[in-house]
Amino acid sequence: MLNQAPYMPPDSSTPQTGWYCVRSQPKREHIAAGQLERIEGVEVFSPRIRFRRNTKRGKVWFEESLFPGYLFARFDFFSLVRMVSSAVGVQGMVRFAGECAIVPDILIETLRKKQFDAETVVIMDEPAVRVGDEAVVTEGALLGLQAVITQVMPGGERVKILMDMMGTAIEAEMPVSTIEKVS
């Protein structure tokens, strides 16, 4: 057995301010961040992303944490760790070998400078279709008809298509969600 000195905690009278990784309750990062911001002497960084996803109702905006289940808090460890650990929405501090995880200042600065300065980043999806793309109608009375996209309407939610019906070229306007691009 190695001869090791017993662990002696650092002097609690010396402030040990830094960024710490805080674990939140599932899907409660925003609640934990709001509660921690109310504590004097605590700075919080909890970047979020906002994006659109296809659902049964069509495209819907979603917002969630960039680091699900985690956020970053800068505070004096010895004087505020109990308040931070017991805040509403907080599950505890992230620890490695019993020590709280300290995040380097440069990492937080880099994240903030890159694109997360506004705390919420909006991820714009590229239009699913473009003018000239070939597509197939996937819903409604025109199901299965092949068409060519002639115009993408402002907002990208609707398109004009040109299709052949009984030997006649017909232009129609329909939601993007009712057509599928042909590879």
Mean pLDDT of the chain: 83
What CATH number did the domain enclosing 159 receive? 2.30.30.30
In this predicted model, which residue has the larger pLDDT, 56 or 81?
81
In a domain, 12, yes or no: no
* Tens-place pLDDT, residues 79-128: 999 999 999 999 999 999 989 989 999 999 988 887 655 556 666 555 56
Q: What is the pTM of this model?
A: 0.59
Question: What residues are paired with 44 via a beta bridge?
Answer: 73
CA–CA gap between residue 132 and residue 130 (Å, rounded): 6
Alpha-carbon span 102 to 55, nearest angstrom: 39
Do 142 and 164 belong together in one domain? yes
> Comparing 1 with 73, which gets the higher pLDDT?
73
How many structural domains is the chain composed of? 2
For residue 9, tell me if it sits in a domain. no
Same domain, yes or no: 116 and 142? no
Q: How confident is the model at residue 8 (pLDDT cuts 50, 70, 90)?
A: very low
